[in-house]
Amino acid sequence: MEKKNKIFSGGGTSVLIVEDDEFLRKVISHKLASEGFKVFEAIDAQIALQLIKKERPHLILLDLILPGIDGFGFLEMIKKDPNLGDIPVIVLSNLGQKEDQDRAMAAGAVDYLIKANFTPAEIVQKVRDAVRKNYL
Amino acid sequence: MERSEISQKREKELQEMDRVAKMLIRRDFVLNETREKREKELEVLQKRTKELEELREALTNMLEDVEEARRKIAAEENKTRAVFISLTDGLIVFDEDKKVTLVNPRAEEILGLKERQLQGRKIKENPQFPVLSKFSQLIDRPAKWTGQKYDLNLKEPTGQFFEVTVTSVIQGKEIIGLMAILHDVSREKQIARTKTEFISIAAHQLRTPLSATKWILKMLLDGDFGPLTSKQSEFATKGYEINERMIDLVNDLLDVARIEEGKFGIEFTQQNFNEFLRETVDSFQQQADMKKIELKCNIPDVPLIAQFDSLKLQMAIANLIKNAIDYTPVRGRVRITSSIEGNAVKVAIKDTGVGIPQQQQKRIFSKFFRGDNAIRMQTEGTGLGLYLARNIVESHGGKIWFESKEGEGTAFYFTIPIKKL
């Protein structure tokens, strides 16, 4: 199972992390890379948009509180775009109120993870689950 | 002959005298009678006069009383009006046709108009005051007004919020009108906003460093940065556990804030309660084993379909079981039973633990409270577990209580009404 996932992700599964906290971004990026994912990093929505258009990642890990356009705005923006709307988005935020979760899921997120409640290994597993569900 | 003549004459004279005397006596008698009658009549007349005089006096007094009462009422009316005028809340009074009869100065200020512009007219007849249109929609509804409250944001750009209370004006048993009280709640709204902002800050600012610590310690422990020695692993594990408790505390604080905001929504779904309870208890087996505590379950092996929020109720039950295990010495017993009681399921969590000191039992459900002996036994603990448990049980319509004796043990009980779809 683990081997199969590695082959699958090593086959070029790419993840874009949109996260303004540098340390968190580096940690999760390191974990994903060590699990065989190709990782792109963006510190805000603007950079994220450029990267999406250029690299077309398989999945986006999205923080909600961001400088400039926030995660909700970014999510709504790409879900409205017919070329980008089908990229699965997992929200990874420390906002966790029901309204936030409902709003993100309504805007088209496939999962909602509160950072403090998940370990990097669990986050990677959620990413794998979402990729598998969306592409296989 | 002569003598007899004289005697006869005398006799006649005497007779005449007698007749006259009698007549005089009779006249005197009649006169007397008449006089007496007159006197009596006079007396009656005087009495009547006196009575009439008394009556007149009484009437005058009465008139004075009425006048006094009228003056008092007028003064009272002025006082009532003075009260209305001095009210720091806006007040609008309507008659039974919903025509305005009074607008106090505070209401004038809030609505930006004058009483005389509205008096005697219906609110919707004043299209020149757009500020009234919302108010009009509110008040023109055909409802039985018994003090219902509404939020009204009258001045959108300035963000002034009012709580409007509409109630009938009742005299005796008759509804004679309506009154609306406009209470400024802008400050409360501001505080609520600040609180929500604080929650968001607490969530983000506290959880972010906690997440970083969690992630990095977990990756160290998982060997992501190479193998650890047993000593390194032991300390990193301890650090990880402490960090997890901080995360739990933040989560609990957020839940408490939600409860206080009235936003701790319960989402009922229909489920098998007994199965849910058994699963919740089972998740504590490992923790009990570590302290060699006998965790016994006495839950009937029959489905018990009830409506509840499993996520929240799980949190409440977990808090109770965790307490039972934490505050029971090694090799003790924790027993969980469920039974049906009337229209509810009753759950008991009994332990052979340290118990709750008698003098602290009253405070056990209050926020941040921890028993003295509990603190001595286990330094960590937020003091929020039972507060949350009580709120969760009560928002399911249930009750929670306990029996405890220091040094012998504690039994917590709660009920959840069985609601069927």
Type and span of the H or E element at B66 = helix B2-86
Structural domain including A79 reads 11-130
Task: Give, in words, the CATH class of B269-417.
Answer: alpha beta
Question: How far is the alpha carbon of B193 from chain A, nearest alpha carbon, in Å?
Answer: 15
The pLDDT value recorded for residue B131 is: 72
The pLDDT value recorded for residue A1 is: 40
| Chain B residues close to A113, C-beta within 8 Å | none
- Comparing CA positions, the residue from B403, B394, B418, B155 lying closest to residue B307 is B418
**Using 50, 70 and 90 to split pLDDT, how confident is the model at A68?**
very high
Does residue B225 sit at the A interface (CB-CB below 8 Å)?
Answer: no
- A119 and B214 within 8 Å at the Cβ level: the answer is yes
pLDDT tens digits, B258-267? 787 777 778 8
Domain-embedded: residue A1: no
Distance CA A57, CA A64 (A): 19
Size of interface A-B (CB pairs under 8 A): 63
- Where does chain A show beta strands of DSSP type E? 14-18, 38-42, 59-62, 89-93, 111-114
Distance CA B5, CA A133 (A): 176
The CATH number given to whatever domain includes residue A97 is 3.40.50.2300
Does residue B267 sit at the A interface (CB-CB below 8 Å)?
Answer: no
Do the beta carbons of residue B392 and residue B313 sit within 8 Å? yes
pLDDT tens digits, B370-399? 888 888 777 677 788 999 999 999 999 999
Sign of CA dihedral A3, A8, A11, A12: negative
Distance CA B125, CA B118 (A): 9
pLDDT tens digits, A16-28? 999 999 999 999 9
Length of chain B, in residues: 421
Low-confidence residues in chain B, pLDDT < 70: 1, 127, 154-159, 196, 200, 379, 419-421
Number of neighbours of residue A83 by Cβ within 10 angstroms: 10
- B215 and A98 within 8 Å at the Cβ level: the answer is no
pLDDT tens digits, A92-108? 999 888 889 999 999 99
- A97 and B254 within 8 Å at the Cβ level: the answer is yes
What are the residues whose beta carbons fall under 8 Å from the beta carbon of B185, sequence distance 6 or more? B151, B161, B162, B163
Domain range annotation of chain B: 1-86, 87-184, 189-261, 269-417
Average per-residue pLDDT for chain B? 87
CA angle B406, B407, B410 (to 5 degrees): 65
Helix axes B207-221, B230-261, angle to 10 degrees: 150
Distance CA B138, CA B141 (A): 6
ipTM score over 0.95, yes or no: no
Q: Please state the domain count of chain A.
A: 1
Do the beta carbons of residue B64 and residue B72 sit within 8 Å? no
- Comparing CA positions, the residue from B225, B154, B223 lying closest to residue B183 is B154
The pLDDT value recorded for residue B262 is: 73
Considering the domain B87-184, what is its CATH architecture?
A: 2-Layer Sandwich (3.30)
Distance CA A93, CA A62 (A): 7
Q: Which of A30, A34, A94 lies at the smallest CB-CB distance from B207?
A: A94
Distance CA B273, CA B281 (A): 12
CA dist list (Å): B17 to B24, B179, B315: 10, 102, 138
CA dist list (Å): A112 to A31, A76, B63, B411: 19, 15, 83, 38
pLDDT tens digits, B84-101? 888 889 998 888 888 888
A69-83, A114-128, B22-36, B360-374: least confident range: B360-374
Domain-embedded: residue A102: yes
The pLDDT value recorded for residue A24 is: 94
Q: Which of A22, A26, A102, A119 is best to mutate for the B interface (most B CBs within 10 A)? A: A119
Domain-embedded: residue A99: yes
Give the residue on A whose Cα is nearest the Cα of B212. A24
Per-residue exposure over B153-167, b if at least 16 CB sit within 10 Å of its own CB, e if not: ebeeeeeebbbbbbe
